[in-house]
Chain A
Amino acid sequence: MSTVKDSVSTPENALLAGQATPSLGEYMRTYLVRVRSGDIGSLPIILGLIVIAVIFQSLNENFLSARNFVNLIVQMAGITTIAIGVVYVLLLGEIDLSIGYVSAVSAVIMTLLLREPGGWPWYLAIGVALLAAAGIGLVQGLIVTNFQLPSFVVTLAGLLVWSGAVLILIGGGGTVIIQDKVVIGIANYFLPSVWGWGVAVVAVAWFALSQAMQVHSRRQRGVSTRPLSIVTFQIIGVAILIIGVVYVANQDRGVPFVGIILLIFLAWFTFLATRTKFARYVYGVGGNKEAARRAGIAVERIRVEVFMISSIMAGMGGIVLGSRLRSVDTAAGGGNLLLNSIAAAVIGGTSLFGGSGRVASAFLGALVIATVENGMGLLGLSAGVKFVITGLVLLVAVLVDAISRRGRAQSGIG
């Protein structure tokens, strides 16, 4: 590839020249242009989190304590897990209203299988519970695709059916206690501080290595990539974040085991949604279903698979929630679990109209929702006030997205 300077004047090479790796200055300049034109990514939500934290801390000094921080991680785990599935469904431009009660169905199945005497081992109980969730997703997905029905209606029916199933399965007792140590440990075990640090080291090293390898291979093969300084900043940023979390958690009970599970989910589902063929197909179908079909993609199959991911993640979330409460009762899966999970994905920046969003948005959105709930809990506010505030946060998030999209449309970034 020729240098940028002499190829700009020769039109034959203009495209190749445009692909050269930008300098740090150029990179920052394009970033600023994008921010100014509304392509702001996660910026508003991070600012929002800071604002929320400052408000709650000024109202109650326990908010930013290590103890509450650890609580927050445990509190957000269930919604985050379910919201990951929501992100995939929204990427297709579909919706899944059954996730709340599907999570409860999984939790109930697991709990009943564990019940003594004659309880199953935890891994079999969890496995069967997740298989049931996958089966539900398969059936709902097949109904949506085979009969060309709106997913809204099919999963609305699912919502009713599975809420009934929970009541039937639990039966007269009303509450089933979980006694299995492993299952309880999912949301109630905290890593000793040495282990916490070990995880931090592995996570940071793994992130740094994967970033470095990516940049290296792109450089070597002569395609444009991020400037090295930016990559370094990103790695340092992630390192500070992870080390900070582990440090604070270690001041209290330690890193919650469920936090590690979330980290693994984040890594795996981000990989699945960015680096694989499946990712391309999900975004392609969400962006332009007809184009995907003409490109030979098995559109209906992708849709069914995504409904299965949604149900499986709901099932996992249900298990996490059950573990946290150490029991499952007839109220499981109800309340505002469904709406909070969808709101988490949307607040995090995933579009309701398909084709745009990231797995990380499930984490950011769930963090916002859990923070607001946690903070208001500390302040002793009533459930009514909590709903109103959470609703307003959702509204603000969607408004910010709409306004930034308008800016993007005007500047043609898209």
Chain B
Amino acid sequence: MSETTPNVAGPPPLLELKGVSKNFGAVQALLKVDFQVRVGEVMALVGDNGAGKSTLIKGVAGIYTFNEGEIYFDSRRVAINGPRDSAALGIEVVYQDLALADNLDVVANMFLGRERIEKLWRLDEVSMEQACVETLDSLSVTTLRSVRRAVAGLSGGQRQAIAVAKAVMWNSRLVILDEPTAALGVAQTRQVLDLVKRLAERGLAVVLISHNLHDVFEVADCITVLRLGQKVAEFVARQTTQQEIVHAITAGQVQHVPGMEVAS
């Protein structure tokens, strides 16, 4: 089905989707998609608007459940029925629309929903602040002047960095980023891409959704192309070109004719 099927020797995939489908009423958002990502690898997910990228990762994050297909994590078949299930597996998502609370400071945002408590119901601000600074430091996020500033006053790149740091702080094993550079300038895009590379170097599996092929080629090891809810190709980034990807995005061969198999 793919134009180039990479035959990467190495570890088995950390996350593997087999034949997943999702429909919203009459809209077939995903149809029998296979998808995989390995530890230490950045897998880019590209495709035109409405191709089904966000739907695919929301299925993995537990926001939607797939109508059919199987999910394997660590070679074990798993069921993901809600955000807590995916968080328990070590899957963290940085959403297209960020999900930071503007009025809270950096530390509060990084720990939102998982605060540390000391005696007498008190927040353990000190240990949270230390862990926060440590995580940001380990990701070489150096442009923040204070972790006690409300995130409302931060630049887009800094906010994105915090959203990413939040995702990696929880011993996560798979980090999914939905268009993390869409709203950023050149320098800030640079920061975020560097951050993405470092995540893979740290031994995490990374899924990156982006419309910017230049960015994709800079950080991705493999590229999966979706078109009209189907997977049309998977490439090894080093062995392909931008033209080939653009061709797959716009004119890739779809295998299944929607409406034929799913008529039931």
Say which size band chain B's interface belongs to.
35 or more
Report the bound CA distance from A55 to B103 in whole Å.
37
Whether the pair A280, B123 counts as a contact (CB closer than 8 A) is yes
B218 adjacent to chain A (CB < 8 Å): no
Binary CB contact string for chain A from 270 to 281 against chain B (1 if under 8 A, 0 otherwise): 000001110110
Give every chain B residue within 8 A of A222 (Cβ-Cβ).
130
Binary CB contact string for chain B from 111 to 150 against chain A (1 if under 8 A, 0 otherwise): 1111101000111001101100100110011111111111
Report the bound CA distance from A414 to B155 in whole Å.
11
Whether the pair B133, A283 counts as a contact (CB closer than 8 A) is no
Give every chain B residue within 8 A of A288 (Cβ-Cβ).
99-103
Whether the pair A19, B133 counts as a contact (CB closer than 8 A) is yes
Q: Which of A15, A18, A221, A291 contacts B101 (CB 8 A)?
A: A291
A5 adjacent to chain B (CB < 8 Å): no
Give every chain A residue within 8 A of B149 (Cβ-Cβ).
414
Binds B, one of A137-145, A184-192, A292-300: A292-300
Report the bound CA distance from A291 to B163 in whole Å.
11
Give every chain B residue within 8 A of A196 (Cβ-Cβ).
none
Whether the pair A15, B112 counts as a contact (CB closer than 8 A) is no
Q: Which of B101, B126, B150, B153 contacts A218 (CB 8 A)?
A: B126
A290 adjacent to chain B (CB < 8 Å): yes
Report the bound CA distance from A412 to B142 in whole Å.
19
B129 and chain A: residue at smallest CB distance: A223
**Given the interface contacts A276-B123, A284-B101, does A414 sit within 8 Å of B153 by beta carbon?**
yes
Give min CB distance, A357 to chain B, whole Å: 10
A413 adjacent to chain B (CB < 8 Å): yes
B184 adjacent to chain A (CB < 8 Å): no
Whether the pair B101, A287 counts as a contact (CB closer than 8 A) is yes
Give every chain A residue within 8 A of B115 (Cβ-Cβ).
277, 280
A286 adjacent to chain B (CB < 8 Å): yes
A16 adjacent to chain B (CB < 8 Å): yes
Give min CB distance, A221 to chain B, whole Å: 5
B150 and chain A: residue at smallest CB distance: A414
B213 adjacent to chain A (CB < 8 Å): no
A355 adjacent to chain B (CB < 8 Å): yes
Whether the pair B112, A291 counts as a contact (CB closer than 8 A) is yes
Whether the pair B95, A355 counts as a contact (CB closer than 8 A) is no
Give every chain B residue within 8 A of A217 (Cβ-Cβ).
126
Give every chain A residue within 8 A of B136 (Cβ-Cβ).
15
A153 adjacent to chain B (CB < 8 Å): no
Q: Which of A13, A19, A280, A290 contacts B104 (CB 8 A)?
A: A280
Total number of residue pairs linking A and B with CB closer than 8 Å: 111
Whether the pair B112, A295 counts as a contact (CB closer than 8 A) is yes
**Given the interface contacts A294-B95, A356-B103, does A284 sit within 8 Å of B112 by beta carbon?**
yes
Q: Which of A15, A294, A414 contacts B144 (CB 8 A)?
A: A15
Interface size on A, residues (CB 8 A): 36
A276 and chain B: residue at smallest CB distance: B121
B153 and chain A: residue at smallest CB distance: A414
B144 and chain A: residue at smallest CB distance: A15
B87 adjacent to chain A (CB < 8 Å): yes
B13 adjacent to chain A (CB < 8 Å): no
**Given the interface contacts A12-B137, A15-B133, does A413 sit within 8 Å of B153 by beta carbon?**
yes
Give every chain A residue within 8 A of B19 (Cβ-Cβ).
none
Whether the pair A284, B84 counts as a contact (CB closer than 8 A) is no
Give every chain A residue within 8 A of B83 (Cβ-Cβ).
294, 296
Give min CB distance, A204 to chain B, whole Å: 21
Whether the pair A19, B146 counts as a contact (CB closer than 8 A) is yes
Report the bound CA distance from A11 to B101 in whole Å.
28
B183 adjacent to chain A (CB < 8 Å): no
Q: Which of A221, A286, A291 contacts B130 (CB 8 A)?
A: A221
Give min CB distance, A272 to chain B, whole Å: 9
Whether the pair A280, B112 counts as a contact (CB closer than 8 A) is yes
Give min CB distance, A247 to chain B, whole Å: 33
Give min CB distance, B51 to chain A, whole Å: 23
Give every chain A residue within 8 A of B151 (Cβ-Cβ).
414
Give min CB distance, A335 to chain B, whole Å: 34
B78 adjacent to chain A (CB < 8 Å): no
Give every chain A residue within 8 A of B95 (Cβ-Cβ).
294
Report the bound CA distance from A292 to B113 in whole Å.
7
A14 adjacent to chain B (CB < 8 Å): yes
Whether the pair B113, A223 counts as a contact (CB closer than 8 A) is no
Given pairs A15-B136, A277-B121, 18 additional interface contacts (CB within 8 A) = A11-B140, A12-B140, A15-B133, A15-B142, A16-B137, A19-B133, A221-B127, A223-B130, A279-B123, A280-B123, A283-B101, A283-B104, A286-B103, A287-B104, A291-B100, A295-B114, A296-B113, A355-B102
Q: A residues near B, CB below 8 A?
A: 11-16, 18-19, 217-218, 221-224, 275-277, 279-280, 283-284, 286-288, 290-292, 294-297, 355-356, 412-414
A–B Cβ pairs within 8 angstroms, 5 of them: A286-B103, A296-B84, A296-B87, A355-B102, A355-B103
